Amino acid sequence: MTTTRPRDYIVPPDLQGRADRDRLWGVIRYAAAIYSGVARLGQHPPVQPVDRDLHVVIERKERVADGAVSLRLVAADGGPLPRWRPGCHLDVLLPSGRLRQYSLCGDPTDRSAYRIAVRRIEDGGGGSLEVHDTLRKGDELRVRGPRNAFPFLRSSRYLFIAGGIGITPILPMVRTAQLRGADWRLVYTGRTRDSLPFLDELHALCRGRVRVRADDEHGGLPDPADLLAGTPPDATVYCCGPPPLIEGVHRLLPVDRPFHYERFSPPPIVDGTPFEVELRGSGRVLPVPADRTALEVVREVLPDVAYSCQQGFCGTCRVRVLAGVVDHRDHVLTDDERAEEMTICVSRSRGGRIVLDL
Amino acid sequence: MAHPEHRADEVDEVVLHPRDVAFDWSKLPLHWVPGDPFATHVINVLHLLLPAGERWFVSVLKQALPLIRDEKIRSDVLGFIGQEAVHAEAHHSVLEHLPSQGLDPTPYTRQIEWFFERILGDRELTGKAAEEWLVERLAIIAAIEHVTAFLGQWVLDARALDEIGADPTMLDLLRWHGAEEVEHRSVAFDLYMHVDGRYLRRVRAMLVVAVVMSWLWARGVRFLMRTDPHLRGLIKPRWRDLRRTRRLGRTPGYLDVLRSLARYFRRSYHPSQEGSTEQAVAYLAVSPAARAAEHR
């Protein structure tokens, strides 16, 4: 993109090819030099660090379904908590240092407490086990947010589809829809009825609008067409659950049908093998395990490294490669660019060390 | 500024993420606002300015990351950078298509690339001078983002373009882009306020942006009308043409732009006072390109 262009100050030709250098731009160049000089006078005030951490205390911990617990969190200083909207999540810093995101599933109008719910995942990254096994009533936690990655919009008619613990962002939406007098339906699926959190609360809101579909009662996983059957065709759809559920519903809905779903973390690494990256700037060598990306590993030592999509399409994390053979897994770089650069969010090594210009 | 009656109850801030969109231009007519080459080219100037402009955003913002001492702003800026990078590529894909219609944009885009890379580039500065020039450029980006949020909200509201039968793929590009501009309209401003925040620098940057953008736009429209293989320079754009397209709802008008710019000079200005995130998010939920992107 920019690497091959000449690095000189020669003014480009004019628009009609009448002159080698555009006269007007020639004048503007001098005006810009003056502006840039003025802009560099003085000094900007020092940047003040901003601490966004909220200190909360676990006021209550309770089992809400088979393998799921909820935590009720209040501010450590007893004051009101920042307000939030349905669909918001918290970043929770667990005592082990793990950072996990959990949807807020309490009442958005209640500023005195937050509620999150966590499903126990035996073979996950360990965050849910930590919440289940070690956190206790009275423990203090640091959290950040709330932030909204699943915005809930006004509509007169909703169809909510939740799979298991995916009910957490949906529950406050249902509550708000009911409060606003909207026409809503909820299809709630999961392995068994006992594994579905908050059924009692949902039924208390309006039993007739909730349809429960448990795999063990219907002989297996749901067919997305069955989930949509009999639902109002013009309702705005909100869906949260396992990726196959979301993708199945997405495929069936016509493209002009408003469809919102909770975005999941970046897709898992396929066929990853461990390799090493060396950072030119510091000379440090970092091992990249098979189940992690170069970006994750580099970020731990260089927190200011740029990245964005984490899926290899935006190109923000492209870095010059000084040595090594790259297994390019992005779909943004051209062949010419791949000869010099890699996107560290998805691309890996074909074997051996990669030296990055960082 | 749609639905002011619902503002208190509306979605305001959302977590930003880029969307992996793609567009097929093979069926794009030269005058994609049917029968209105002037309106077409007023909007087409975007394709001339944005690829180079948004790549410049990305390179400036990447340099600004080490200045940030607020995790929320950092996360917003990272989402913003990715969105801008994809915008640049999407508009670039239109540029690549134009020569097949007999319109070669390179004389103009060569100048724009030079402008962003050399005039607004790093100017080979070091130390404190480099940092001040970086912060000045953050103020420039904040000012440009005010304009792009205004344009984004305008195109989300521009029903007249649907009614006249404007090309649906182009409308989707403009509205997907416009919606993301509205969605992330506070990020560059919040970043500027975090690293500097002084009013003088903020308004100075806007004055420069307003003058330069107006000039580049007028020049771009003249260039496109002259280079357009159907018009062959026979129809010259006039300032009053914009009053007509404004009246027909096909472009914003002078007064709309001036009023919007004036709001930026208020000391109490904040981008959250402009535009509707709720409307932007609602469009992204039905945008054909954004919908296709999610499960690529």
**B10 chain-A contacts, CB cut-off 8 A:** 154
Q: Is residue A47 part of a domain?
A: no
> Of how many residues is chain A composed?
358
Q: Are strands A275-279 and A285-288 parallel, antiparallel or unpaired?
A: antiparallel
**A357 chain-B contacts, CB cut-off 8 A:** none
* Phi and psi angles of residue B289, each rounded to the nearest 5 degrees, phi first: -70, -45
Question: What whole-number distance in Å separates Cα of residue B185 and Cα of residue B277?
Answer: 9
Helix axes B187-195, B37-64, angle to 10 degrees: 40
Q: Which of residues 28-67 of B touch A (CB under 8 A)?
A: 55, 58-59, 61-62, 65-67
Q: Is residue A267 part of a domain?
A: no
Q: Are residues A250 and B294, on separate chains, in Cβ contact within 8 Å?
A: yes
B278 touches chain A (CB under 8 A): yes
Q: Is residue B22 part of a domain?
A: no
Q: Are residues A50 and B69, on separate chains, in Cβ contact within 8 Å?
A: yes
Tell me, what's the pLDDT at A298? 95
Residue labelled with tokens 């390109």: B289
A interface mutation test: which of B20, B74, B175 has the most A CBs within 10 A?
Answer: B20
Is pLDDT larger for residue A291 or for residue B217?
B217
Taking CA atoms, B53 is separated from A164, A307, B29, B123, in Å, by 45, 19, 25, 16
**A11 chain-B contacts, CB cut-off 8 A:** 114
Flag whether the pTM goes above 0.90: yes
Paired tokens of B100: 């097949």
Contacts of B119 (CB under 8 A, 6+ apart): A28, A29, A32
Q: What is the CATH number of the domain that holds A282?
A: 3.10.20.30
Q: Is residue B147 part of a domain?
A: yes
Q: Are residues A309 and B136, on separate chains, in Cβ contact within 8 Å?
A: no
pLDDT digits (tens, 9 = 90+) for B13-47: 899 999 999 999 999 999 999 999 999 999 999 99
Question: What whole-number distance in Å separates Cα of residue B223 and Cα of residue A256?
Answer: 37
Tell me, what's the pLDDT at B49? 97
Q: Are residues A43 and B71, on separate chains, in Cβ contact within 8 Å?
A: no
Exposure b/e, A72-88, CB count within 10 A at least 16 = b: bbbbeeeeebeebbbbb
pLDDT at B6 over 50: no
The per-residue DSSP string of A55-93 comes to EEEEEEEEEEETTEEEEEEEETTS-PPPP--TTEEEEEE
pLDDT digits (tens, 9 = 90+) for B184-204: 999 999 999 999 999 999 999
Q: Are residues A25 and B111, on separate chains, in Cβ contact within 8 Å?
A: yes
Q: Is residue A136 part of a domain?
A: yes
Tell which of A261, A296, A331 closes a domain. Answer: A261
Q: Are residues B82 and A316, on separate chains, in Cβ contact within 8 Å?
A: yes
* A131 and A173 share one domain: no
A51 near A42, Cβ under 8 Å? no
Paired tokens of A293: 């990306």
* A66 and A141 share one domain: yes
Average of per-residue pLDDT values in chain B: 94
pLDDT digits (tens, 9 = 90+) for B93-134: 999 999 999 999 999 999 999 999 999 999 999 999 999 999
Nearest to A258 among B6, B208, B282 (CB): B282
* A290 and A334 share one domain: yes
Q: Across chain B, which distance is largest between two alpha carbons, in Å?
A: 55
* A221 and A170 share one domain: yes
**DSSP code for B70:** B
H/E stretch holding A213: strand A210-214
**A17 chain-B contacts, CB cut-off 8 A:** 107
Q: Are residues B20 and A152, on separate chains, in Cβ contact within 8 Å?
A: no
Q: What is the CATH number of the domain that holds A71?
A: 2.40.30.10
Q: Which of residues 177-216 of B touch A (CB under 8 A)?
A: 194-198, 201, 204, 208
B75 near A306, Cβ under 8 Å? no
B122 touches chain A (CB under 8 A): no
Paired tokens of A203: 């039924």
Nearest to A44 among B9, B196, B295 (CB): B196
Determine the residue of chain A that is closest to B57 in CA distance.
Answer: A316
- Residue B231 CA, chain-centre distance (Å), reads 27
Q: Are residues B18 and A309, on separate chains, in Cβ contact within 8 Å?
A: yes
Question: What whole-number distance in Å separates Cα of residue B99 and Cα of residue B114?
Answer: 21
Question: What whole-number distance in Å separates Cα of residue B59 and Cα of residue B71?
Answer: 20
Tell me, what's the pLDDT at A263? 60
Q: Is residue A46 part of a domain?
A: no
Tell me, what's the pLDDT at A18? 83
Q: What is the CATH number of the domain that holds A243?
A: 3.40.50.80
A interface mutation test: which of B77, B95, B132, B199 has the most A CBs within 10 A?
Answer: B132
Report the 10 Å Cβ neighbour count for B141.
26
Q: How many CA atoms lie within 13 A of A94 on its CB side?
A: 19
A87 near A103, Cβ under 8 Å? yes
* A37 and A19 share one domain: yes
Paired tokens of B99: 């020569």
B10 touches chain A (CB under 8 A): yes
> How many domains in chain A?
4
Write out the residue range of the structural domain in which residue B186 sits: 31-293
**Chain A: closest CA distance from residue B193 (Å):** 9
**A305 chain-B contacts, CB cut-off 8 A:** 65
Question: What whole-number distance in Å separates Cα of residue A245 and Cα of residue A256?
Answer: 19
Determine the residue of chain B that is closest to A108 in CA distance.
Answer: B9
Q: Are residues A313 and B295, on separate chains, in Cβ contact within 8 Å?
A: no
Q: Among B92, B112, B235, which Cα is nearest to A22's?
A: B112
> How many domains in chain B?
1
Tell me, what's the pLDDT at A219? 86
pLDDT digits (tens, 9 = 90+) for B234-262: 899 999 999 999 999 999 999 999 999 99
Cis peptide bond prior to A289, omega within 30° of 0? no
Tell me, what's the pLDDT at A234? 87
Q: Are residues A48 and B69, on separate chains, in Cβ contact within 8 Å?
A: yes
A251 near A244, Cβ under 8 Å? no
**Chain A: closest CA distance from residue B141 (Å):** 14
β-bridge partners, A116:
A71, A104
Write out the residue range of the structural domain in which residue A313 sits: 275-356
Q: Is residue B76 part of a domain?
A: yes
Tell me, what's the pLDDT at A9? 65
| Per-residue model confidence as pLDDT tens for chain A (358 residues) | 444 444 446 888 888 888 888 888 989 999 999 999 999 998 999 999 999 999 999 999 999 999 999 999 999 999 999 999 999 999 999 999 888 999 999 999 999 999 999 999 888 778 899 999 999 999 999 999 899 999 999 999 999 999 999 999 999 999 999 999 999 999 999 999 999 999 999 999 988 999 999 999 988 888 989 888 888 888 999 999 988 899 899 999 988 899 999 865 566 788 889 999 999 999 999 999 998 999 999 999 998 999 999 999 999 999 999 999 999 999 899 999 999 999 999 999 998 999 999 9
**Chain B: closest CA distance from residue A194 (Å):** 32
Tell me, what's the pLDDT at B8? 63
Q: Are residues B111 and A306, on separate chains, in Cβ contact within 8 Å?
A: no
Tell me, what's the pLDDT at A266? 60
Determine the residue of chain A that is closest to B194 in CA distance.
Answer: A47
**A9 chain-B contacts, CB cut-off 8 A:** 118
B interface mutation test: which of A21, A47, A262 has the most B CBs within 10 A?
Answer: A47
**DSSP code for A264:** P
* A161 and A233 share one domain: yes
* A165 and A141 share one domain: no
Paired tokens of B210: 């307003």
Q: Are residues B82 and A247, on separate chains, in Cβ contact within 8 Å?
A: no
Single-letter code of the amino acid located at B1:
M
Single-letter code of the amino acid located at B162:
D
Single-letter code of the amino acid located at B184:
H
CA angle A30, A32, A38 (to 5 degrees): 110
CA angle B282, B287, B291 (to 5 degrees): 105
